[in-house]
Structure formats: C-alpha cells, structure tokens
C-alpha cells in the first residue's frame, strides 16, 4: 500500500499532513489527515482516530477543533479520515444525509451502495494498516468522533474492544434505528431488515454487553438535533441500568457546532492519553 503526501503544515510544534491513497476497500481514491506530534521524530506514538459527522471531510476537525495543541502536549498522533468514498462514478444522493459525505461507518450490502460504501472495514482494517505501515506510530489506538462520527466511534469500538483503549464522542447519534437519519441511511445501506441494524446501534450494543471500554460522551443541551436525532437520554438510561463505565455529560448552553467540540476537546484528548499510556 502506497500513500501520496498532498500538503504539510507545522502546528503547535508538530506536523499536520494530508495524504491521498488508492483504497482497495472502497475502490476509490481517499484522502486522510494526520497530526504527528514532535515526539514522533524520536519514537513511535499512539493514535487517536477521529471520525467526523455528516457533510464533513478530513479537514473540518483538523482546522476547527484546535486538538493539535493537546495532542502535542500528550505525544499523541491524530488520524482523521474522510466520511465516505467520493468520486464521479460513486453512488450519491442529492440530500446531505445519504451518499457522499454520509457513509455512517457501516459496510453497505445493498445496491448501488455496496460497491464502495465499506467504511466500517476501511476504518477498522485498511486505514490503520496503512497508517502503521507508513508513519511513526505504535499499534495503540483510541477513537472519537462527532455526530455521525460519534455513532461510528462508539459502534466500531464496542464491536472491536481489543483494538482500542478508549472511546469518546461529541453529540453522537446513539440510537440510529429509532431516528430519521439512521433509519434513512440504514434502509439504503443495509436493507429493510431492522434486526440487521441493531449491530450498528450504540444503545443496542451497550444493552447487550456487561462491560465496555472507558467511554466519555459530551452532549450539548442546546443541540438542535438532540430530541429527534441524537436521543442521548435513551443511552443514559441503559448506562445507568447496566452500571457501565460510561460518563455522559449534558452541557448547558452548547449546540451541535465545532464551538462545542473546541470547548471540550482538551478534556477528551487527556482522557484518551491516560489510557493510551497504560
């Protein structure tokens, strides 16, 4: 597997790099971004994978969240993939919540999506292999994300507990089988059988487990999507009932934007750093 460096910028003493590669999993060219702390010049560093939300690319988080300064402090690399396959010949939809920019981090089984929309395998297999082959990182990994990416981070980590040290999320879609965004995407990508959807639903995954990875979730109480799409209270009830190692913080005054993420990203990076260091 080969990668092409597209650009590089120095930031907070480390290096922000954008790469392009041909993905065999997604059957298209993909771009991902990496922040390498200065520590990576002398020793392999652990990685925090960041999954972004609907309409985003690799650039949103890296440009808006200010996470690099905290990753530099703790000696952690950040890897931010795109949110879906892209290209002229790749299936798409006019709406923002389906198709390109809206991969939902699942492996699609339905036409025309299944030919390219294999984001679950891309994030769990191809991308980590590529990163560990070409960059000065260790095999220690944590994962985080926002909105659709929060859904991806939570479900991927819960299904691969031996792969990650910890999980966190901002404003995640925690019960997609019961919200309009999730129902639309899952019907197109996975088919109409609701039983299949449960394997990609955080509430259902946590309801079925007796223990989880250390997990931190922040949700803004002024988030315009909270009541209809995110359904955080349903996960809160399950966590309390199961007594799981999950911290859910409801933050007054905060919305769904990157202002919210920038306000608490320092705490999320420190949270992961604790477990990546063990």
Report d(CA 270, CA 204) in Å as an integer.
Answer: 28
- Out of 52, 84, 147, 263, which one is annotated catalytic? 147
Enumerate the H helices of 160-257 as residue ranges: 180-190, 194-197, 202-207, 232-242
Q: In Å, what is the CA distance from 122 to each residue of 27, 129, 143, 157?
A: 11, 10, 14, 14
Structural tokens at position 131? 């990163």
Give the DSSP H/E element, type plus range, for residue 149.
helix 148-159
Nearest alpha-carbon partner for 167 in 53, 64, 245: 245
CB atoms within 10 A of CB 96: 12
Q: Answer yes or no: 146 catalytic.
A: no
- Out of 116, 223, 263, 272, which one is annotated catalytic? 223
Reduced to 3 states, what is the DSSP secondary structure of residue 32?
Answer: strand
159: alpha, beta or left, given left = phi > 0 and alpha = psi -120 to 50?
Answer: alpha
Structural tokens at position 239? 């966590």
Q: In Å, what is the CA distance from 14 to each residue of 68, 137, 202, 271?
A: 8, 14, 34, 20
- Out of 188, 200, 256, 272, which one is annotated catalytic? 256
Structural tokens at position 251? 């933050």
Collect all residues with Cβ–Cβ distance below 8 Å to 226 and sequence separation of at least 6.
Answer: 171, 219, 220, 232
Give the DSSP H/E element, type plus range, for residue 251.
strand 246-251
Q: Answer yes or no: 256 catalytic.
A: yes
Q: Answer yes or no: 257 catalytic.
A: no
Mind telling me the catalytic residues? 147, 223, 256
């Amino acid at each position: 597997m080969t990668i092409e460096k597209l650009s590089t910028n120095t930031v907070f003493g480390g290096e922000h790099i954008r790469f392009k590669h041909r993905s065999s999993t997604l059957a298209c060219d993909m771009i991902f971004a990496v922040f390498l702390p200065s520590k990576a010049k002398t020793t392999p560093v652990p990685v925090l994978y960041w999954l972004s939300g609907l309409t985003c690319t690799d650039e949103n988080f890296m440009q808006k969240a200010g996470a690099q300064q905290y990753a530099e402090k703790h000696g952690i690399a950040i890897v931010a993939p795109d949110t879906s396959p892209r290209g002229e010949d790749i299936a798409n939809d006019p709406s923002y919540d389906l198709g390109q920019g809206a991969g939902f981090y699942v492996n699609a089984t339905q036409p025309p999506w299944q030919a390219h929309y294999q984001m679950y395998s891309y994030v769990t297999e191809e991308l980590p292999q590529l990163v560990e082959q070409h960059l000065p990182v260790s095999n220690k990994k944590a994962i985080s994300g926002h909105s659709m990416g929060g859904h991806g981070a939570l479900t991927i980590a819960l299904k691969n507990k031996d792969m990650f040290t910890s999980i966190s999320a901002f404003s995640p879609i925690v019960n997609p089988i019961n919200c309009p965004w999730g129902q639309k995407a899952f019907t197109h990508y996975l088919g109409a059988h609701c039983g299949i959807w449960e394997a990609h639903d955080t509430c259902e995954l946590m309801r079925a487990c007796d223990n989880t990875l250390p997990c931190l979730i922040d949700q803004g109480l002024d988030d315009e999507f909270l009541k209809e799409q995110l359904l955080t209270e349903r996960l809160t009830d399950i966590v309390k009932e199961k007594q799981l190692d999950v911290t859910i913080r409801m933050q007054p005054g905060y919305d769904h934007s990157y202002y919210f993420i920038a306000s608490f990203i320092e705490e999320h990076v420190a949270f992961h750093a604790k477990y990546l260091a063990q």
